[in-house]
Structure 1
Amino acid sequence: MLESYRDRIAGPSALVEASAAHGVEFLDEVVDRHTRTIPFDNVDVALGRGVSIAPESVRRKLLDQRRGGFCFEHAEIIHQVLDELGVEHHRFLARVLLSGSEEPGAATHCANIAHLDGGRYIIDPGFGGGTPTVAVPLDGAERAGFRVVPAADDDPRAIDRILQSRTDVSDKHPEGFKDVYGICDWDPRPADLDMACWYAASRRGQMFTENFVVVLRGEGTRSIFNTGLKTEQGTRELDGAEDLRDALRRHFGVEVDPRQAAELWDFAHRG
């Protein structure tokens, strides 16, 4: 599995060297390469297929078929990688806080916390355009524009810690950080993960059941949000199903046939 993952992300040879040191800088490289090569997308949600996070299904889709996936799929493949590397870790669920609402939403995001070099670090290449491209420590230190801070004891959202990212200083963000997601820092069971994934991928009114989203990081973030395409060359509106199909292939390495492109176009127009 590690050889397939290394080939998929054009990753370091240390991924398959049992004697290699797998510290923070090593995982920084893994996360960075992952975000540049495996798209975040909800293609299967938009096509009505649903999302499976069974280990073999995720390996087949992301590695063998060289496709992108949903946050739960990215978290599952990272879980398998860390497991095979022998890195102590656990998965966690999180509540997305980007809306700024004080009402607690469902825990519909998933990632991993790895125990490395005497500390604990978020390893999360699956949050789309806002994903951290390095390992982020839980001790509050800032890395690559991200930090983790404790949640207030009386926080009504039932979260333990908050991942924040750098933003402009303002009355709303006096410290120059905005909340990204709230970490529910406990080790969920497989049934918890299945339920949260189903909710995020199937329930009406959720971000990814109502909008078509594709993101790939790199020198500049490339993305599709419904019918809008953003690349290093600028932003434009897509012009029909065939234009969408071409953009998916050319900018994200995502292959769909003409019938699927038409279904995705219809879904994107409803967003």
Structure 2
Amino acid sequence: MSHTTAPATSPASSPSSRSTVDVFSESPRLDLDAYLARIGWSGQGEASVEMLRSVHRAHVHGIPFENVEPVLGSAPSLALADLQAKLVRSRRGGYCFEHNTLFAAVLEALGFGVTRLAARVRVGAQGAVRPRTHMLLLVDVPGASRQYLADVGFGSIGGLLEAIPLTAGTEVHDGGRRHRLVREPHHGLEDLWVLQAFQGGAWSDQYAFSREPFEPADYEVINWHVATNPRSPFQHTLYAQRTTPDTHLALAGRALVIMRADGTREERELADSAELRQVLDTDFGIELPEGARLEAGH
């Protein structure tokens, strides 16, 4: 599939007719060829459910999750040029705001409609009501009767591998994982949507959201809070995730967990900073910034 001709002028144009695309008027151009090469996707055709699922899965497999910048004391940039430099042209990853901001731009370039949303994460919340600190996407597929939930930036094995239809109560098998969306009564304008993953023989809440659109300015504020608030766990602990067709790797500080498709699980503690850097580079595909030093507590 080639994207080397002049940019298209309509969002619904064939992806084969565009190489770089203006996503927002104030934004630099998206290098779609470089992105697709980064995730190893070489499909063809018009925007469709099959394309959405395929590109979503390739992104999850191709670009790792990590929060290096907050641990080093800064908030990562959400500018498209910086996201491309980091996630596309470097051996780096990012967290939800970076992944899903980039993915939204890609989907719009491919001819999909995208509404940016925010969710309250419930993993580990134990009933507490958390602020909306997770970015996710609602996708309109040309010709499809349903919208789809897309999320390539959830740093958990309970995250989506493929986009799933926005339909309540239906179990979906997405690339080897099991998910469903349920409705939950809420005092807002509509009931909440809750994403659940089937884990350990039971359904577990991942996050809850409504369909209220969020703007880039909203994510700038939330991103700053998550990255710099002294109470944010992202400022104190290094988290990294890498998903392949056969394995899911999860790192929290020095604790490494390897979960394989056959159900086996391996846990170990990394010895020191040298081993941490090696594992990030070799197993996660993350090359730390030049001169980056992670303290023992990370």
Are residues 1:209 and 2:235 paired? yes
Are residues 1:248 and 2:263 paired? no
Q: Is the 8 A contact 1:136 1:142 kept in 2?
A: no
Q: Is the 8 A contact 2:116 2:215 kept in 1?
A: no
Question: How many residue pairs end up in the alignment?
Answer: 253
Q: Percent identity?
A: 28
With normalisation by structure 2, the TM-score equals 0.79
Q: Distance in 2 between matches of 1:259 and 1:51?
A: 17
CA RMSD of aligned residues (A): 2.0
5+ residue gaps, structure 2, are 1-30
Task: Tell me how far 1:32 sits from its aligned partner.
Answer: 1.4
Amino acid at match of 1:152: P
Q: Decide whether aligned partners of structure 1 residues 258 and 238 sit closer, same or farther in structure 2, where only a CA change above 3 A counts.
A: farther
Q: Is the 8 A contact 2:75 2:223 kept in 1?
A: no
Deviations 1:15-46, CA, capped at 9 Å, x for gaps = xxxxx132222222212111112000001111
Q: Is the 8 A contact 2:140 2:146 kept in 1?
A: yes
Map 1:83-162 → 2, pairs under 5 A: 83-116=108-141, 117-129=144-156, 130-140=158-168, 141-144=170-173, 145-154=178-187, 160-162=192-194
With normalisation by structure 1, the TM-score equals 0.87
Are residues 1:193 and 2:225 paired? no
Q: Distance in 1 between matches of 2:136 and 2:146?
A: 17
Q: Decide whether aligned partners of structure 1 residues 105 and 239 sit closer, same or farther in structure 2, where only a CA change above 3 A counts.
A: same
Map 1:161-240 → 2, pairs under 5 A: 161-168=193-200, 176-218=202-244, 219-231=246-258, 234-240=266-272
Structure 1 outlier segments of 4+, above 4 Å: none
Secondary structure at the residue paired with 2:78?
A: coil
Secondary structure at the residue paired with 2:105?
A: helix
Quick check: which one's helix share is greater?
1
Q: Distance in 1 between matches of 2:186 and 2:75?
A: 36
Higher deviation after alignment, 89-98 or 139-148: 139-148
Are residues 1:8 and 2:34 paired? no
Q: Is the 8 A contact 2:74 2:227 kept in 1?
A: no
5+ residue gaps, structure 1, are 15-19, 170-175
In the other structure, the counterpart of 2:77 is 52
Q: Distance in 2 between matches of 1:221 and 1:192?
A: 31
Task: Tell me how far 1:154 sits from its aligned partner.
Answer: 4.3
Amino acid at match of 1:50: A
Quick check: which one's strand share is greater?
2
In the other structure, the counterpart of 1:173 is none
Task: Tell me how far 1:258 sits from its aligned partner.
Answer: 7.6
Secondary structure at the residue paired with 1:128?
A: coil
Q: Is the 8 A contact 2:74 2:228 kept in 1?
A: no
Higher deviation after alignment, 184-193 or 106-115: 184-193
Q: Is the 8 A contact 1:9 1:37 kept in 2?
A: yes
Q: Distance in 2 between matches of 1:195 and 1:150?
A: 28
